[in-house]
Amino acid sequence: MGETRSVVLFPQMGGEPPGPEELTVDDRGRLLLPAEVRRRLGLGPGAALLLEVEDGTIRLVPRAVAARRGHGIFADRARGRALVEELRRERRAEAALEEALATGDRARIRAARRALARAAREAR
């Protein structure tokens, strides 16, 4: 067997975190998470974890937790805007342009390009 190194895991499981748990990296670079940690975090086979390394510390974060962390981080940029409606307007304008291009009608193409530009400006 090759050399092993130890890392310390601080599980984020709600409530009071237990003391650090020592894990060992095996010769193939794998860690085995204790069954209790997997159970409390709801991690089954194939569960996706994100590895964060900062200031010499390793943190494993379930993907679902990371996604919840990021939820709404740009909300302040969209206050008072109907983003879904903006997207719909843009998509309709793009479809109209594609249709106009397919017909070759220059007047329709110009009008569709103007509508698409207007939709894009309004989305800013």
21-30 residue pLDDT tens: 788 899 999 9
- Quote the tokens at residue 117: 């530009």
Angle at 41 between CA 19 and CA 38, to 5 degrees: 80
- Asked whether the predicted pLDDT for residue 82 surpasses 90, the reply is no
Beta bridge partners of 9: 21
Q: Rounded to an integer, what distance in angstroms lies between the CA atom of residue 55 and that of residue 69?
A: 20
Q: What is the pTM of this model?
A: 0.44
Q: pLDDT at position 77, please?
A: 72
